[in-house]
Amino acid sequence: MEQRVLDFIKGLRGRGVSVSTAESIDAMGAVAVVGLEDPGIFKAALKAAAVKRNRDVPIFEELFPLYFYGLESGGDAYILEDELLSRLEEAMRQFARGEGMNPMLAMVLMGRGGEWESFIRTAAGQVGTAQLATRMQVGMYTRRIFDTFDWEEMEGQLSGLMDHLREEGWSEEEIERLEEAFEANRDALRKQVRRYVEREQARNADKVPSAERIERLINRPLSGLDEFELQQMRKAVDILARKLRNKINLREKQRKRGKLDVKATLRRNMSHGGVPFELKLKHKRMEKAELMVLCDISSSVARVSQFMLQFVYTIQDCLAKVRSFVFVDDLGEVTDFFRDEDIQKGVRRALSEADISYNARSDFGEVFESFCDQYLQDVGYRTYILIIGDARNNYNDPGTRALERMRDRAKGIIWLNPETKPFWDTGDSVMGEYVPYCREARVCRTLKDLEDTVSSLLL
């Protein structure tokens, strides 16, 4: 249980809940004192030790069942009446002395759903649910765990037990009720196994990737990630964005403190014979950049665009202003989605609810013209325009004149292309026509490329 509590605290930290080492020790001490007898008290003790802010309570409530499933419910077990149950328990004890008996058979017959979980956990360890990643694997792992209980052996022992009960004088009606209880509780156990597997899958998906895992993920091409890796990647984006924000904040502190101005210090201390009793510092004024992000969300580029939006909005407090747009053959602003929703919901809405046609064919020239007509007046001297797209224009007018107007107005245009350079200018790609108007044109296929791009703008 100690390891489960530590995993739970790690999960809270991964979701942004601040739990210090001292608070972790307090939590361990609290649960050791209250024990597991009363699940409500156990939960309250853990919450009191680990949660300090009201806004963290929903996260605690969401994660608690994922880590401590089974403490509150015994499932849908079929329970026999007490008198029959007592006689059955005694009969099974006698039968086990002679024939031996699978302990799981007794648990199923007596409907002790609260005690099934320890068997399920043991079986889950044997089949390796730590590797369970996606919802598509839930059925497979449920079947594997359920099959480890050796039902063939249990059915044979059940038949022997029924014969033993007949010899002891039990009525056929009572035996039929026991067989009925066995079938009903086997189904209930199967359901409980599935609920357990579903929660393990959710818990695994919610785990914060390790530093080594993040290092591997950020260098993987975004287009080749499976569902589980995408979930892990979203967490990696948050972690990388927090690191970048910390770097920016540290630089801000250093800038406010100022650097030693040697010449001014010597001038000020001439009266002391040049001994620097009084230091003079010089301060460099830095202006936060404004960012306008234009994301191509056609199928070939959508994945890079969605991670860039998540990255940018995670660190938006480090920028003076962020506006975001999505496009295929027309341009739609999605800034308000991120103002009204959390970032993940904002990204989902941007990819599905913007006022554009999602099934159209890419037309960069039309998009640039539209941007100039509607938004160019909002571009200032400290505005970077970040364009994410493969520049495959479907043989339409590339609209370089509009791109030139954007360049002349902005501090710079940064173009991120998910295709490698050998593919630029092949087929309907017009990347070569856009490069002269860009301050920088980069290949962007991984999260590392995204991080490097944003870092170059802010650091």
The string of pLDDT tens digits covering residues 350-389 is 888 888 888 888 999 999 999 999 999 999 988 999 999 9
In whole angstroms, what is the distance from residue 198 CA to residue 134 CA? 10
- Average of per-residue pLDDT across 400-412: 94
Written as one string, the DSSP assignment of 183-212 is: HHHHHHHHHHHHHHHHHHHHHHHHSPPPHH
In whole angstroms, what is the distance from residue 340 CA to residue 342 CA? 7
- Which region among 205-214, 274-283, 418-427 has the lowest average model confidence (pLDDT)? 205-214
Burial of 222: CB neighbours in 10 Å, binned 0-12, 13-18, 19+: buried
**Tokens matching residue 107:** 């648990």
Within 269-399, residue ranges assigned H as helices are 302-314, 335-340, 343-350, 364-375
> At a CB cut-off of 8 Å and minimum separation 6, what does 294 contact?
325, 327, 331, 367, 371, 385, 386, 387, 388, 389
Residue type, 76: D
- Average of per-residue pLDDT across 240-258: 78
User: Does residue 312 have a pLDDT over 50?
Assistant: yes
Maximum distance among all Cα pairs of the chain, rounded to whole angstroms: 115
pLDDT at 7: 78
Summary mean pLDDT of the chain: 83
**Number of residues that make up the chain:** 459
Q: pLDDT tens digits for 43-80?
A: 888 888 888 888 788 888 878 877 776 544 455 677 77
Residue type, 17: V
In whole angstroms, what is the distance from residue 447 CA to residue 456 CA? 14
In whole angstroms, what is the distance from residue 382 CA to residue 457 CA? 11
In whole angstroms, what is the distance from residue 75 CA to residue 195 CA? 10
User: What are residue 415's DSSP bridge partners?
Assistant: 387, 441
Contact 340, 373 (CB under 8 A): no
Burial of 284: CB neighbours in 10 Å, binned 0-12, 13-18, 19+: exposed
In whole angstroms, what is the distance from residue 344 CA to residue 268 CA? 54
Please report which confidence band the pLDDT of residue 396 belongs to, taking 50, 70 and 90 as the band edges: very high
Question: What is the distance between the terminal CA atoms of the chain, rounded to a whole angstrom?
Answer: 44
In whole angstroms, what is the distance from residue 203 CA to residue 283 CA? 48
Q: pLDDT tens digits for 91-118?
A: 888 888 776 788 888 888 888 777 787 7
In order of 316, 406, 438, the CA distances from 411 in angstroms are 18, 9, 10
Report helix angle 302-314 to 343-350, nearest 10. Answer: 150
In whole angstroms, what is the distance from residue 188 CA to residue 182 CA? 10
DSSP 3-state of 391: coil
User: Does residue 454 have a pLDDT over 50?
Assistant: yes
Please report which confidence band the pLDDT of residue 282 belongs to, taking 50, 70 and 90 as the band edges: confident
In whole angstroms, what is the distance from residue 376 CA to residue 374 CA? 6
Report helix angle 211-218 to 227-257, nearest 10. Answer: 100
Chain centroid to Cα 23, Å, comes to 24
User: Does residue 398 have a pLDDT over 90?
Assistant: yes
pLDDT at 239: 75
Angle at 426 between CA 428 and CA 398, to 5 degrees: 40
Confirm whether pTM is higher than 0.85: no
Contact 362, 329 (CB under 8 A): yes
Chain centroid to Cα 293, Å, comes to 23
In whole angstroms, what is the distance from residue 369 CA to residue 364 CA? 9
User: Does residue 269 have a pLDDT over 70?
Assistant: yes
pLDDT at 209: 65
In whole angstroms, what is the distance from residue 186 CA to residue 178 CA? 12
In whole angstroms, what is the distance from residue 325 CA to residue 174 CA? 71
Share of the chain above pLDDT 90, in %: 20
Q: pLDDT tens digits for 156-214?
A: 888 888 888 888 888 888 888 888 888 888 888 888 888 888 877 777 766 666 677 77
Give backbone dihedrals phi and psi of 100, rounded to 5 degrees, phi first: 80, 150
**Tokens matching residue 301:** 């580029």
pLDDT at 71: 46
Residue type, 341: E
User: Does residue 280 have a pLDDT over 80?
Assistant: yes
